[in-house]
């Protein structure tokens, strides 16, 4: 039963988020320019941005589902924290220094600059907008279902609260409101998880007993070195697979880009991602402790809620514990505030980024909009996308079986791998073509989308749960109940379907074996297939010595030096002249132009253009 103090916590999280939006809309430049509304005038502070990046990609379902993963599948899930930390490291030293010096507002603008082609930019933006709209349904519907099932908050009310509050403060305050709201909401996420850990540990006989019980039931077994991709959680899938699955979230991602590009220097932009290594470790430790504490509590009782048919989805484990065991004023409100914080953060992040790229990539190139009018249009698109996302969430709530929300989450998983593949092809293969990037992304979408839909349809069966404490259960009529769980915290879960009778160790073969490939390999599979097909399509350009190459600033920073060394001495002389000119303004640019115009190495080189000189000068000033 909810107490007045519980409603007070809910009111605080909602009103404070709206208040932050109002304050940020009335301060600074009052959000009247796209530079301020979308990029925070590139003057944001490091720590708030780092916190915002951390919590933005952890949806409410991930916060609910991660402890349940530990509860039902054991500590293998903890290794994914290592994979995510590796993704942060890779992104900080590759994509951040690639994008930041360009001073662009949309990461899809990079693709146009790199390939000198608008279609690949529009295609990538279109894919992002479509998947983001569907993702809004998942971000709002999934926590609403969990709250409805165990706390009697109607689904329509949950969707309405999440949608309305997120739209209000995002539309009013832009990226500044989103970042500072994330910081405020992270406090409730931390307090909510700590409250559960402390209370469940006390009820289970202390933290030492929690770990002892978890060990006895196999929850602390971590290392499975099998290389079979059908095994759901192994050392390899949880590190390498997860790393490739999360790089698209920290690197070539519009939401992450808007945050680290809002910082004043490249060094701070890198640190905003690097600090997430520490944040991910702390968050995973807390989520793991939550899972261990909940398991020990129900193991001591001799019955877990899923075996007893108290819940239909393992995502409801944490809410049912709070509802039935924490009959203390404020605890229920704290958990709901925690869930709402995760939902607000994810929803506002998606709304802000997709509205921004819609105007910047689709409208501004064809409409002569003033900066003020473009900002107003972005605000209205935040409202429009919020209404559209809520509408899809409402519609999905009435669909049984494999719902639209499930399909949209599958599409999101498929698109992230394709996105990574496109940017790797563009940044690492100088002679690749936009046709290769497009066909490669299409092939990746088809392959991974097919895999996701096949898994959703149950073609691969479900993963085996670890032994559960059910000796004292009285409601075992749910032995064949359907269980759903998140396959990726970043994507707000692609729901797979399984039954309790699926607790087997045998791995399927044939087509079912293909559908049983662990979700943690989806990112690598998508990026790899995109790269392979993209290289094949770009093969004529790769073999042509006279095919054009992009400016150096569009190539991954770590590869620039290697490419210089592979080029002719004449070309290296030109590059040295360019850098000398940039470092010493007195150097006559005509000399560099003359060298460039006369240097030949199997092909005639072009004269330096004014635009190229300006672009290189800006890039080197930022980097050096």
pLDDT digits (tens, 9 = 90+) for 211-223: 999 999 888 877 7
> Given this model, what pLDDT does residue 65 score?
81
Task: Name the H helices within 429-507.
Answer: 434-456
Q: Minimal CA–CA distance to 22: which of 179, 208, 174?
A: 174
Rounded mean pLDDT, 55-83 = 83
H or E segment to which residue 386 belongs: helix 371-396
What is the sign, positive or negative, of the torsion defined by CA atoms of 345, 349, 351, 352? Answer: positive
> Do 559 and 277 meet the contact criterion of CB atoms below 8 Å apart?
no
How far is Cα 351 from Cα 390, in angstroms, rounded to an integer?
12
Rounded Cα–Cα distance for residues 230 and 425 (Å): 28
The Cα–Cα gap between 621 and 140 comes to: 43
- For residue 624, count CB atoms less than 10 angstroms from its CB and return exposed for 0-12, middle for 13-18, buried for 19 or more: exposed
For the entire predicted model, the pTM comes to 0.83
Range name among 201-210, 419-428, 451-460, 608-617 with the lowest pLDDT average: 608-617
> Is 392 buried (19+), middle (13-18) or exposed (0-12) by CB count in 10 A?
buried
Beta bridge partners of 496: 485
The fraction of the chain above a pLDDT of 90, given in percent, is: 42
Cβ distance 89 to 266 under 8 Å?
A: no
User: Hey, how many other C-beta atoms are within 10 angstroms of the C-beta on 618?
Assistant: 15
Question: Long-range contacts: 82-86, Cβ < 8 Å, 24+?
Answer: 82/238, 82/239, 82/242, 83/238, 83/239, 83/240, 83/241, 83/242, 83/243, 83/245, 83/246, 83/520, 84/242, 84/243, 84/246, 84/280, 84/284, 85/276, 85/277, 85/280, 85/281, 86/239, 86/243
CA 50 to chain centre: 14
Task: Report the chain's C-alpha Rg in angstroms.
Answer: 25
Report CA-CA distances (Å) from 200 to 75, 226, 250: 18, 34, 33
Alpha helices in 486-583 (DSSP H): 510-515, 522-537, 539-543, 557-566, 569-583
Count of residues making up the chain: 624
Measured CA to CA, the distance from residue 188 to residue 337 in angstroms comes to 6
Give the pLDDT band of residue 328 (cuts 50, 70, 90): confident
Instruction: Report helix, strand or coil for 88.
Output: helix
pLDDT (mean) for 154-162: 89
Q: Are 318 and 192 in contact (CB under 8 A)?
A: no
Among 4-13, 52-61, 199-208, 408-417, whose mean pLDDT is lowest? 408-417
Q: Does 248 score more than 90 pLDDT?
A: yes
Helices (H) and strands (E) in the chain, counts: 26, 2
What per-residue confidence (pLDDT) applies to 595? Answer: 43
User: What is the model's pLDDT at position 576?
Assistant: 62
pLDDT of 54 reads 92
Q: What's the whole-number mean pLDDT along residues 195-206?
A: 88
Question: 508-524: per-residue pLDDT in tens?
Answer: 777 778 888 888 899 99
CB atoms within 10 A of CB 223: 9
Which H or E element spans position 183?
helix 155-203
Q: Output the CA–CA distances (angstroms, integers) from residue 280 to 277, 284, 564, in the order listed.
A: 5, 6, 37
Give Cα 33 to chain centroid, integer Å. 27
Bridge partners, residue 497, by sequence = 484
Q: Are the beta carbons of 476 and 199 closer than 8 angstroms?
A: no
Q: What is the pLDDT of residue 399?
A: 62
Please, what is the end-to-end C-alpha distance for the chain in angstroms?
A: 61
Helices (H), 40-117: 46-56, 60-73, 80-93, 95-99, 107-115
Indicate the pLDDT class of residue 568, thresholds 50, 70 and 90: low
Distance CA 316, CA 305 (A): 9
- Residue 410 predicted with pLDDT over 70: no
Q: Does residue 292 surpass a pLDDT of 70?
A: yes
Residue with tokens 């202390």: 206
Ordered structural domains, the chain, with CATH: 4-17+46-536 (1.20.1730.10), 567-623 (no CATH)
pLDDT of res. 499 = 32
DSSP state of 330: T
DSSP codes joined into one string, 143-163:
HHHHHHHHH---HHHHHHHHH
Q: Give the whole-angstrom CA distance, residue 435 versus residue 432.
A: 8
Those residues whose C-beta lies under 8 Å from the C-beta of residue 602, and which sit 6 or more positions away, are: 545, 546
Tally of CA atoms within 13 A in the half-sphere of 599 that contains its CB:
20
Spatial CA neighbour of 173 closest among 379, 386, 381, 346: 379
pLDDT at 148 over 60: yes
Cα gap 128→134, rounded to integer Å: 10
Which pair of tokens denotes residue 443?
A: 């092939």
Q: Strand ranges (DSSP E) for 379-522?
A: 482-485, 496-499
């Amino acid at each position: 039963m909810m107490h007045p103090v519980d409603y007070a916590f809910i009111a605080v999280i909602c009103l404070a988020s709206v208040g932050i939006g109002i304050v940020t809309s009335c301060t600074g430049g009052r959000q009247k320019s796209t530079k301020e509304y979308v990029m925070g005038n590139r003057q944001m502070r490091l720590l708030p941005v780092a916190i915002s990046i951390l919590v933005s990609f952890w949806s409410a379902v991930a916060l609910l589902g991660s402890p349940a993963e530990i509860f039902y599948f054991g500590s293998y899930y903890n290794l994914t924290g290592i994979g995510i930390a590796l993704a942060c490291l890779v992104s900080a030293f590759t994509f951040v220094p690639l994008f930041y010096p360009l001073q662009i507002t949309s990461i899809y603008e990079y693709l146009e600059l790199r390939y000198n082609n608008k279609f690949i930019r529009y295609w990538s933006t279109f894919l992002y907008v479509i998947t983001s709209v569907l993702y809004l349904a998942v971000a709002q519907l999934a926590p609403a279902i969990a709250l409805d099932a165990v706390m009697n908050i109607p689904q329509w009310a949950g969707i309405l609260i999440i949608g309305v509050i997120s739209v209000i403060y995002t539309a009013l305050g832009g990226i500044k409101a989103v970042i500072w709201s994330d910081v405020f909401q992270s406090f409730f996420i931390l307090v909510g998880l700590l409250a559960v850990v402390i209370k469940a540990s006390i009820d289970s006989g202390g933290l030492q007993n929690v770990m002892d019980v978890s060990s006895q039931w196999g929850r602390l077994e971590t290392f499975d070195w099998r290389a079979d991709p059908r095994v759901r959680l192994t050392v390899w899938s949880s590190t390498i697979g997860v790393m490739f699955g999360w790089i698209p979230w920290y690197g070539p991602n519009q939401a992450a880009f808007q945050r680290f590009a809002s910082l004043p220097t490249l060094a701070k932009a890198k640190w905003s991602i690097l600090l997430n290594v520490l944040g991910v470790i702390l968050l995973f430790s807390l989520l793991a402790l939550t899972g261990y504490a909940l398991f020990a509590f129900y193991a001591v009782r001799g019955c877990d809620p899923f075996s007893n048919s108290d819940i239909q989805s393992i995502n409801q484990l944490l809410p049912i514990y709070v509802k039935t065991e924490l009959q203390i004023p404020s605890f229920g409100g704290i958990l709901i505030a925690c869930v709402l914080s995760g939902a607000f953060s994810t929803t506002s992040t998606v709304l802000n980024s997709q509205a921004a790229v819609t105007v910047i990539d689709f409208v501004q190139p064809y409409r002569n909009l003033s900066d003020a009018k473009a900002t107003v249009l972005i605000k209205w698109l935040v409202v429009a996308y919020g209404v559209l996302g809520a509408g899809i969430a409402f519609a999905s709530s009435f669909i049984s079986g494999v719902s639209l929300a499930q399909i949209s989450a599958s599409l999101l998983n498929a698109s992230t791998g394709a996105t990574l593949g496109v940017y790797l092809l563009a940044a690492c293969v100088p002679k690749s073509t936009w046709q290769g990037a497009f066909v490669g992304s299409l092939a990746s979408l088809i392959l991974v989308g097919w895999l996701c839909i096949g898994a959703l349809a149950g073609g691969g069966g479900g993963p085996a749960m670890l032994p559960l404490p059910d000796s004292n259960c009285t409601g075992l009529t749910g032995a064949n109940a359907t269980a759903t769980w998140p396959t990726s915290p970043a994507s707000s879960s692609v729901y797979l379907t399984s039954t309790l009778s699926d607790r087997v160790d045998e791995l399927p073969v044939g087509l079912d074996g293909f559908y049983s490939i662990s979700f943690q390999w989806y990112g690598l599979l998508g990026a790899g297939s995109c790269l392979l097909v993209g290289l094949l399509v770009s093969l004529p350009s790769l073999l042509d010595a006279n095919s054009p190459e992009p400016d150096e600033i569009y190539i991954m920073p770590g590869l620039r030096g290697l490419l210089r060394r592979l080029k002719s001495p004449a070309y290296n002389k030109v590059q040295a002249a360019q850098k000398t000119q940039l470092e010493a303004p007195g150097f006559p640019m005509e000399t560099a132009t003359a060298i460039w115009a006369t240097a030949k190495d199997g092909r005639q080189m072009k004269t330096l253009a004014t635009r190229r000189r300006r672009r290189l000068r800006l890039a080197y000033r930022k980097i050096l």
